[in-house]
Chain A
Amino acid sequence: MGGVEEVGGRGGRNPVVSLWGHLKAVGTGLKYLIAVPRMTVKYPDEVIELPDGYRGMLIYHQDLCISCGLCATICPANAIKMYLPSGGGGGEGGGEKPETPPKRHPGIDYARCIFCGFCVDICPTGALEHSKVHDAAYERVEDMLYRPEEFAAGPPTVEFERPPKRLRPVMDERRGISYEPVG
C-alpha cells in the first residue's frame, strides 16, 4: 500500500557493450599509469615561478606616498587603513599639538586583504606595487597587521629549509602544464 513508485530506467543492458566499455576505461587508465602527466609540483622543494603582473603581497614605497588615502578609500575589504605616525600625534592623552598635523600613511592587514589590487591600480604615484610573494605564513593573527613603518619595510621573505627549485609553468599539448627550471 501507499509508497511512491520507483522511477528511473536502469533497464537491462547489453553485457557485451558493457564489457567493451569497461575494457576501454581500464585501457585508458593503464595508458595514464605508464605515461603519468603530473601537474603537481613538490612544494616547498619546488616552487612555481609567478608571472609578471601577479597580484601578490604589496610593496610600499613610503618616499613616493603623498598620503592621499585613495588606497584606503578604494579597499573593498577595509584591509588598508591610514595611520598616524606611531610615537606622537595620534596617541591618547595628546601631548603638544604640532603646528601642521602629521600626515597619515597606509598600513595593511593581510588577514583582511583579498589581493584584488585596486589599491595598486589607483595609487597615483606608484607608491604601491605588487610583489610576487604570496606564501607567507603567520603564527599569530596580530602579526598580519602591518603599520606604515612595517609596511614600508617590504613584504615578508619566505624562508625555505633547502633552497627550492624554481619552476616556470608552460603550456604543453601533451601534458597540460610542464615546468621549466628558472635560472
Chain B
Amino acid sequence: MSGAGSGERTLELLIGPQHPASGHMRLVAEVDGDVVVRLRPDIGYVHRTVEKIAETKTYLQTIPLIERPPLADTANHNLGYVMAVERLLGVEAPPRAQWLRTLLAEMNRIHSHLYGLGIHGIMLGSSTAFMWAFGDREIMIEMAKRLTGARITYSYMIPGGVRRDLPPGFAEEMEKALRYLERRLPDYDRIFFSNPVTRARLEGVGVLTREDAIRLGVVGPNLRASGVAYDVRRARPYAAYPELDFQVVTRSEGDSMARMLVRVGEIRESIRMIRQILARMPDGPILAERYAKMIPPKWRDYVRETGRIKFPAILASLRPPKGAEAVSRVEAARGEAVFYLVSDGGPRPYRMRMVTPSLRNVVLFSHLTRGCRVADIPAIYGSLDYFPPEADR
C-alpha cells in the first residue's frame, strides 16, 4: 500500500521480470482493488546490444545476429536486413531467389503466428491451445528444416540470393502440410477461438480504436485489427509479393479477440500464398550473377546438382561503397520491421539500426490496460504477440 496514511488507495503490483509470459520483462501495475489505474512496461531485461555488435561483425556475419532477437520470426528479419545490404551493394537477387525468400517468409509467418497464439492460449489458461499451436508449429519447422538445414535460425537469405534451392519432393510434402493445417483450423476455432471462455476473456477487452492505433504508430496485426489495412507487403511490395494474390486481413473491433483473429486470417492467407509460390515459382539461378560467377569452377557441378550454393570468398568481406546508406522495410510476422545501414567503405556496418515490430507495439501496454481488470492484463498482453527479446534487441 503506497502512502496509505496520505489518503492514497492504490497498490503497486509487480509482474515479472521472471518471464511473465513471452520473455523477461516487468509490468508495473498500479491497481485500485482489481482495476488497473496505470501500467508501465519495464523493458530492457533481454537487451543484447544487437545494433552495437553488428558494428563488429561483417555484413554476412550480422545475418545470424539479426535472427536471434525475433526468435520464431527469423526469416522475415533476415529478409529485411539482406534487402538493406543489397541496396548498399547495388545487387539484386534473381527472381527464383525472390520467390524462395517469400516462401520461407510466409512459412515463418505461419510458424510465428502459431507461436504467438499458443502463448496467448497459455496466458488465458488454455493449455490445449498452447500444446496444439506449439505442436503444429513443428509442421513449418520440419518443412523449413528440409529447405534450409536448420529448424529456426535459418540464415537462409544472403546478399544476392538464397543458399539453397528446393529439395526434391518439397512441393508435394508442403501440400500435405497445408491441407493438415486447413483441417486443423476449424478445430482450433471450436476448441479455442470460439470457446465461450475465450470469448468472455477477449471480446471487448483492450479495445484499440482506429485513431489511437494510427496515432500511437502501432504496426502489424495489432494495427490491422483496428481497421487499418496497412501491410508493407501491399504498401511497398518486395520480393515476390507484387506477383502474389493475397488479402490484407483486417477487422474493425480492435479488441483482443480481433487481434487474435487477424492472425488466424493471416495464417489462411499465408497458406494461399505458399500454394501460389510453389505452383508458379520461376526457374533460374538462386544467386546473383555477380557472385555466382565467383564460385570456384570445381564447385559449379556440385551447385547445379545439389542446388546448394558454395560461397565465393568475397562474401566473407563484402565492402559496400563508402558513405552508402540504405533503408529497408518488411512486413514481419508481428508487424513492420525497419533496417537502416550505413557503410564507411569497410567490411563491417558503420551503423546498423533495427526497428522491430515489438518495439513499436510496446506502447500498447500502458494504453490498453488503463481501466482493465488485473485478470485482463495477460489477455491483453497475449493478444499483442509482444516478444520482449524482439523489442529489446
A29 contacts B37, C-beta separation under 8 Å: no
Which of B58, B61, B190 interacts with A25 by CB under 8 Å? Answer: B190
A117 lies within 8 A of B64 (CB): no
- C-alpha spacing A177/B176, complex, angstroms: 10
Q: Report the bound CA distance from A70 to B135 in whole Å.
A: 39
**Contacts A122-B311, A122-B313, A171-B177 known; A51 to B167 CB distance under 8 Å?**
yes
Contacts A4-B35, A7-B371, A21-B199 given; indicate if A130 touches B311 (C-beta within 8 A).
Answer: no
Tell me the chain B residues, 187-243 only, with Cβ under 8 Å from chain A: 187, 190-192, 194-196, 199-200, 203-207
Contact status B196-A76, CB under 8 Å = no
Interface assignment of A174: CB less than 8 Å from any CB of chain B: yes
Select the stretch in A10-18, A93-101, A146-154 that faces chain B. A10-18
Contacts of B14 in A (CB 8 A): none
The answer to whether A171 and B60 touch across the interface, beta carbons within 8 angstroms, is no
Number of interface residues of A (CB under 8 A): 54
Whether B37 and A4, one on each chain, are in contact in the complex, defined by CB atoms closer than 8 angstroms, is yes
Decide if B373 touches A6 in the complex (CB within 8 Å): yes
Which residues of A have CB within 8 Å of B65?
76
Q: How far is the CA of A55 from the CA of B64 in the complex (A)?
A: 14
B167 touches A52 (CB 8 A): yes
A6 to B372, CA, bound (A): 6
A74 at the interface (CB under 8 A from B): yes
Alpha-carbon distance between A29 and B129 when the two chains are bound, in angstroms:
11
A4 touches B36 (CB 8 A): yes
- Tell me if A13 and B196 are in contact (CB < 8 A): yes
Which residues from B are CB-within-8-Å of A70?
Answer: 313, 316
Minimal Cβ-Cβ distance residue in A for B36: A4
CB <8 Å contact, B32 and A4: yes
Assembled-state Cα–Cα distance A169/B180 (Å)? 14
Query: Does A87 lie at the interface of the complex (its beta carbon under 8 Å from any beta carbon of B)?
Result: no
Q: Which residues of B contact A52 (CB under 8 A)?
A: 167
A111: which B residues are within 8 A, CB to CB? none
Chain B residues whose C-beta falls within 8 Å of the C-beta of A73 in the assembled complex: 316-317
A50 to B144, CA, bound (A): 12
Mark contacts of A1-37 with chain B using CB atoms, 8 A cut-off: 1 yes-contact digit, 0 otherwise: 0111111111101000110011011011101100000
- Give the CA-CA distance A175 to B181 in the complex, in Å: 10
Q: Is the CB of B207 within 8 A of A114?
A: no
- A55-B32 in contact (CB<8A): no
B63 CB within 8 Å of chain A: yes
Query: Residue of A at shortest CB range from B184?
Result: A176
Contact assessment for B371 and A18 in the assembled complex, using a CB-CB cutoff below 8 Å: no
Report if A25-B195 is in contact (Cβ < 8 Å); known contacts: A6-B371, A39-B138, A122-B315: yes
B63 partner residues in chain A, CB cutoff 8 A? 76, 116
Indicate if the CB atoms of A121 and B311 lie closer than 8 Å. Answer: yes
Q: With A116-B153, A176-B139 given, is the CB distance from A8 to B205 under 8 Å? A: yes
B47 to chain A, nearest CB (A): 19
Given A7-B371, A174-B183, A13:B167 Cβ within 8 A:
no
Tell me which residues across on chain A come within 8 A of B62, comparing CB atoms: 76
Do the beta carbons of A10 and B196 come within 8 Å of each other?
A: no
Whole-angstrom CA separation of A36 from B145 in the bound complex: 25
Interfacial residues of chain A within 25-63, with CB under 8 A of chain B in the complex: 25, 27-29, 31-32, 39-40, 50-55
The complex places the Cα of A122 from the Cα of B199 at a distance, in Å, of 53
Contacting residue for B180 out of A5, A10, A17, A174, CB 8 A: A174
Is A8's CB under 8 angstroms from B373's CB? Answer: yes
In the complex, B309 has a CB within 8 A of chain A: yes
CB distance from A167 to the nearest CB of B (A): 12
Q: Which of B42-69 contact A (CB under 8 A)?
A: 57-58, 60-65
CB contact list, A144-180 vs B, under 8 A: 169-177
Question: Which residues in window 96-125 of A have CB below 8 A to B?
Answer: 114-118, 121-122, 124
Contact indicator A173/B179 (Cβ below 8 Å): yes
**B9 pairs with A2, CB closer than 8 A:** yes
Residues of B within 8 A of A (CB): 9, 32, 35-37, 57-58, 60-65, 128, 135-136, 138-139, 142-143, 145-146, 148-150, 153, 155, 163-164, 167, 173-174, 176-177, 179-180, 183-184, 187, 190-192, 194-196, 199-200, 203-207, 296, 299, 306, 308-311, 313, 315-317, 370-373, 376
Residues of A near any B CB (own CB < 8 A): 2-11, 13, 17-18, 21-22, 24-25, 27-29, 31-32, 39-40, 50-55, 70, 73-77, 114-118, 121-122, 124, 130, 169-177
Instruction: Pull 24 A–B residue pairs with CB atoms less than 8 Å apart, ordered by A.
Output: A2-B9, A6-B35, A10-B200, A11-B204, A13-B196, A24-B194, A29-B191, A51-B145, A51-B146, A53-B164, A55-B150, A74-B58, A74-B61, A76-B62, A114-B64, A116-B64, A118-B155, A122-B316, A130-B149, A169-B142, A171-B180, A173-B183, A176-B180, A177-B139
Known: A4-B371, A25-B194, A28-B191. 18 other contacts (CB 8 A): A2-B9, A3-B35, A9-B205, A10-B203, A25-B196, A29-B128, A29-B191, A53-B149, A54-B150, A74-B61, A76-B57, A114-B64, A116-B155, A118-B311, A121-B311, A122-B313, A124-B313, A174-B180
